């Protein structure tokens, strides 16, 4: 076998890459279904659309994202099995907002040195996120890039493809005054705002602060912060199945202020602060750094990770569907006439 000695001396170990690929096979196989064609390790991923042949006008939907600086915590805690879930969630939670069904997912993993045991843990999380979202992991790339990334550091990004019949696209055009705004509980900070999180808690090159136990959290700070982003696919599908969802908004980067208004036009979302329990991690941040609540709403999800807008008369049906899907949901406001603002939190 070619030892690739000079390439290894330059910082790239192709044999570590082979070991990584071998180690992830069992996890990838858990995500596959009858629509996935071809063999693992091919040059591209193939996905048959035969099951959607009855759609009148099938529309492909795409989403891509990463996990931001949350990944820094994974380095410090040497815990890598949840970051992959975050990566999938950040993509599929965007794709479902137009009513699409996520089909296939690909990941891109870049590192300073290929450490097969770390790669396997990360991809294990990716596979788990795919299982949770009903998405097949059809391919990916592991890039060893010495000189770009430090040894012990990596980054991960993902890409998701979904499908929806054009007539069923959820575009928010029917949202009207008086509609109810339903918020679905988040699992924590998810994967946004971690530059501020790190500043608030003084997270630098030491994991000491992450190992501190906080009574109000019921766990260490690191455990709370590495809680993976919730995958909302099944919840959204349950709500959509009622036929009453007018709009969906993923509360991602930019918090309430940037994301909820993306779901409608020329209206104002009146959000009632206090209509749901703000998670302890956000209360701890506000207390520790004296962050104004208004700024918190502009950065974080504050305990609400996904929003659905429905007619008031259909509120109970959608709430029941979400409860049946195992989600905790709250009516957090209603739509009003535009008053110069796209959203108000009061």
pLDDT digits (tens, 9 = 90+) for 324-343: 999 999 999 999 999 999 99
Q: What is the pLDDT of residue 3?
A: 64
Name the more confident of 27 and 13: 27
Q: What is the pLDDT of residue 20?
A: 66
Report the pLDDT averaged over residues 46-75: 97
Return phi, psi of residue 265, to 5°. -135, 145
User: Tens of pLDDT along 254-281?
Assistant: 999 999 999 999 999 999 999 999 999 9
Nearest in space to 293 (alpha carbons), one of 274, 306, 308: 274
The matching CATH number, chosen from 3.90.650.10, 3.40.50.300, 3.30.43.10, 3.40.50.2300, for 180-345 is: 3.90.650.10
Return phi, psi of residue 260, to 5°. -60, -45
Nearest in space to 159 (alpha carbons), one of 250, 92, 67, 258: 92
Q: What is the pLDDT of residue 17?
A: 57
Q: What is the pTM of this model?
A: 0.94
Confidence of residue 18 (pLDDT cuts 50, 70, 90): low
- The secondary structure element, H or E, covering residue 204 is none
Which residue ranges make up each domain of the chain?
5-168, 180-345
Report the pLDDT averaged over residues 291-305: 97
Confidence of residue 13 (pLDDT cuts 50, 70, 90): low
Question: Is 5-168 in CATH node 3.90.1150.10?
Answer: no
Confidence of residue 39 (pLDDT cuts 50, 70, 90): confident
Measure the CA–CA gap between 69 and 284, rounded to whole angstroms: 20
Measure the CA–CA gap between 90 and 140, rounded to whole angstroms: 17
Q: Is the pLDDT of residue 12 over 80?
A: no
Q: What is the pLDDT of residue 15?
A: 54
Q: What is the pLDDT of residue 23?
A: 75
Given a contact cutoff of 8 angstroms between Cβ atoms, the answer to whether 163 and 61 are in contact is yes
Q: Is the pLDDT of residue 6 over 80?
A: no
Q: What is the pLDDT of residue 59?
A: 98
User: Tens of pLDDT along 164-215?
Assistant: 999 999 999 999 999 999 999 999 999 999 999 999 999 987 899 999 999 9
- What single DSSP character describes residue 49? -
């Amino acid at each position: 076998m070619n030892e690739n000695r000079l390439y290894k001396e330059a910082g790239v170990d192709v044999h570590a890459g082979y070991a990584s690929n071998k180690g992830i096979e069992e996890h990838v196989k858990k995500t596959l279904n009858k629509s996935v064609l071809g063999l693992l390790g091919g040059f591209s991923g193939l996905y048959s659309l035969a099951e959607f042949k009855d759609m009148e006008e099938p529309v492909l939907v795409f989403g891509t994202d990463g996990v931001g600086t949350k990944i820094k915590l994974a380095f410090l805690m040497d815990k890598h099995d949840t970051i992959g879930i975050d990566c999938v969630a950040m993509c599929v939670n965007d794709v479902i907002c137009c009513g699409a069904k996520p089909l296939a997912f690909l990941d891109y993993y870049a590192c300073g040195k290929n450490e097969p045991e770390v790669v396997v843990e990360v991809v294990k999380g990716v596979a788990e996120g795919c299982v949770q979202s009903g998405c097949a992991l059809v391919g990916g790339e592991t890039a060893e890039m010495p000189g770009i990334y430090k040894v012990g550091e990596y980054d991960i990004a993902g890409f998701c493809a979904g499908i929806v019949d054009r007539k069923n696209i959820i575009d928010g055009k029917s949202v009207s005054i008086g509609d109810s705004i339903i918020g679905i509980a988040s699992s924590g900070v998810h994967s946004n705002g971690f530059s501020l999180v790190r500043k608030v808690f003084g997270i630098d090159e030491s994991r000491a602060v992450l190992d501190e136990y906080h009574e109000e959290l019921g766990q260490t700070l690191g455990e709370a912060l590495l809680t993976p982003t919730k995958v909302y696919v099944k919840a959204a599908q349950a709500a959509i199945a009622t036929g009453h969802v007018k709009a969906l908004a993923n509360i991602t980067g930019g918090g309430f202020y940037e994301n909820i208004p993306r779901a409608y036009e020329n209206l104002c979302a009146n959000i009632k602060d206090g209509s749901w329990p703000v998670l302890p991690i956000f209360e701890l941040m506000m207390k520790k750094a004296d962050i104004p609540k208004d700024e918190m709403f502009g950065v974080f999800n504050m305990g609400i990770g996904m929003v659905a807008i429905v007619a008031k008369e259909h509120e109970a049906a959608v709430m029941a569907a979400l409860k049946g899907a195992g989600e905790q949901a709250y009516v957090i406001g209603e739509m009003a006439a535009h008053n110069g603002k796209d959203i108000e939190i009061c």
